[in-house]
Amino acid sequence: MSQETDEIQKVVEETATWVPRLREEIRKVIVGQEYLIDRLIVGILANGHVLLEGVPGLAKTLSVRTLATAIKADFSRIQFTPDLLPADVVGTLIYNPRTSEFQTRKGPIFANVVLADEINRAPAKVQSALLEAMQERQVTLGDETHFLPKPFLVLATENPIDQEGTYPLPEAQVDRFMLKLRVDYPSKKEELRILQEMATTKPKTDVDPVIDLNEILKARETVDQIYVDPKIQQYAVDLVFATRKPSDYGLDMDHFIQFGGSPRATISLILAAKAWAFLQGRGYVTPHDIKTIGMDVLRHRVIPSYEAEAEGYASEQIINRIFDTVAVP
């Protein structure tokens, strides 16, 4: 197995040469936010959608747009509002009286990178229009199915404050996001740099494309080859099972969890860990990779009970206790 791992390691080193170039290009516009940028790249590599939560002004939208430009991807931005309709997202059929036929008008969902801005400001009927696109990578209009371009990635933002006029995301849609990121304020040093570089009437927002989509697709093939030891696989399964039945792992927390992670969480955990290992230039996954990316995979899938909320337990605290308790291989 070590010989096979060595071969995968060589492939990773050859394939991942574009990662430093991409990071450097993004840094021309984005100051700090290393956590955000790295997780966005993980989403692209692991073919998983990303949900970003943070207060306004933290460069969430700018980061997504910059990333899409740097990888030569078609970018589409959808501003979710209460009056948005499903047809405004996926498209619709338009009747042509000249030909007496319906013609397909594709919506903005037909792009490589789709930014769903303030996704929780649209009602459930609009949010549900994304379900088929996010899971099957296709859209059905009338009796025809249209496949979305490859790669296809939905990056959605939501605002944790100012909840007036917002709608909670359905569980089925939340579970379709591989990662949920909590975007925090920059450090004092980073904010000083932001001030020095962006406090102008013409802030720099232009980046050059440094990689193309074929390189992304090739990198995904390499990510699939990254070695995951059976013990690591069992560790991921144990972590997700512990979110469903903590008492089986010695945790008296069953009453704190309303819903735990689904099998999709286990799959996402391994895929995201593989992508993270790729970013580190490794051809194998370690338990530390699982722990590093695990919070982003699980925080939106572990739903605390009312009792947990009453006692001040958020999903992050529950997950941290699970990480501290489940035996590491």
What are the structural domains of the chain?
A: 29-84+110-198+208-217 (3.40.50.300), 226-325 (1.10.8.80)
Average pLDDT over residues 10-31: 86
Tokens of 135: 């899971």
C-alpha torsion 145→146→147→153, nearest 10: -110
CA distances from 206 to 28, 29, 55, 66, 202 (A): 8, 7, 24, 8, 11
Average pLDDT over residues 272-283: 93
pLDDT band of residue 164 (cuts 50, 70, 90) is low
- If we measure between CA atoms, which residue out of 169, 183, 180 comes closest to residue 126? 169
Quick one: 120 exposed, middle or buried, by C-beta within 10 A (0-12, 13-18, 19+)? buried
CA distances from 239 to 158, 227, 321, 325 (A): 27, 19, 11, 9
- Whether 223 shows a pLDDT value over 90: the answer reads yes
Dihedral sign, CA of 205, 209, 214, 220? negative
Instruction: Using a pLDDT cut of 70, give the percent of the chain over it.
Output: 98
**Distance separating alpha carbons of residues 68 and 238, to the nearest angstrom:** 36
pLDDT tens by residue, 93-148: 888 888 878 888 888 999 999 999 888 888 888 888 888 888 889 998 878 888 99
